[in-house]
Structure 1
């Protein structure tokens, strides 16, 4: 079993309210940059719709009759106004619908995420908060002020538990914040964020899920 280090848990006022263990298997792993690049590229490729399509000459509307006679005009011979060189004609070698997704093994996806989390931890860009101090009613202003105090980065990834609806509603309209549930955490959203802010409930759930997966190996 890997050893663990500690990370402070901040309360609603930004003060220390305890600590959590950081398992080395998750937060002190080697950061493999080529692997991260491959996983992030595959994730972006899978998000592409691939519905692009252009019409070839057979799909363009227009007459198939020769636009002018074959000989005697001094011009190059033409067979149809739907040919690519004519305005409104077909497109040559244009894009067609395709699937951009790449097969990426689950172990590679997990290793890329763990490597990124470890990198953010070493850079002191990982934060765990007890709560945002927002009770019952969502408040975007309160969430903005709290994040400005806790996470100094320009782009912040907030990771919350599934049942934390108040926090989700409070941060979702902040332009510099992206919010995810702990089971949605992925390499792309981590790599494009400067700071990661976990609520303690989300952090505990994420670490527990990772430990359960390691136990099943």
Structure 2
């Protein structure tokens, strides 16, 4: 499949690029996408939650009153979870929520997400561009020239482009990712993906699958 490359001003460059069918034209695997998205979201959790349990609250461990003969229900110390001043029973403790998936699974998830974008005509390729200084207005104009002014756009750059990233911070529907840090959830979260040509070449090299020989 060939895709036209646009210039920075949105005009056609007269060049086309061939999308690797093993990356951009596969049957998307929804289960693999779910596994990778679950991994990403789980790894973003801090896991620092903590409540005070019986051993953490302040107070004496002395039995409040004798076991029998008072007419009251039997009770232990004031730290008991059933009392207002007691500790939490089985409360959350700091833990790691990190999950892992195989590299092949993660790459298949990204290929599936990119294939969905191609199927929906939501993948665009432009020549590599950079900005001398951060400018929100300049970046907004660039997206308008690509007919992406009202869409939720993911810009994938070939290298770290600090000025482009800073220019996008005031645009609520625009996010910028350097291609090496591109994840499945980044692709799925955008209505349209604008790839720099160098970023496309990188994805072709990283995610392509060699044909199997008999």
One fold, TM greater than 0.5? yes
Partner residue, 2:174: 177
Compute the TM-score of the two structures, normalised by the length of structure 2.
0.86
Cα distance, 1:188–1:21 mapped onto 2, change above 3 Å: same
1:25-52 CA-to-partner distances (Å, cap 9, x unmatched) read: 1110110111111111122112222222
1:105-157 CA-to-partner distances (Å, cap 9, x unmatched) read: 1100000100110110111111112256x642221112123224422664221
1:31 aligns with 2:54: no
1:116 and 1:82 map into 2 onto residues whose CA distance is: 52
Partner residue, 1:191: 188
Partner residue, 1:16: 12
Return the offset for 1:7.
0.9
1:126-141 alignment runs, 5 A limit: 126-131=123-128, 135-141=131-137
Partner residue, 2:101: 104
Q: Is the 8 A contact 1:153 1:194 kept in 2?
A: no
Return the offset for 1:19.
2.0
Q: Is the 8 A contact 1:67 1:80 kept in 2?
A: yes
1:56 aligns with 2:43: no
Structure 1: gaps of 5 or more residues? none
Return the offset for 1:81.
1.0
1:138-177 alignment runs, 5 A limit: 138-150=134-146, 151=148, 154-177=151-174
Q: Is the 8 A contact 1:153 1:195 kept in 2?
A: no
CA RMSD of aligned residues (A): 2.2
Return the offset for 1:163.
4.6
Return the offset for 1:8.
1.4
Structure 2: gaps of 5 or more residues? none
The aligned length equals 209
Partner residue, 2:39: 42
1:15 and 1:178 map into 2 onto residues whose CA distance is: 22
1:129 and 1:143 map into 2 onto residues whose CA distance is: 14
More deviation in 101-110 or 5-14? 5-14
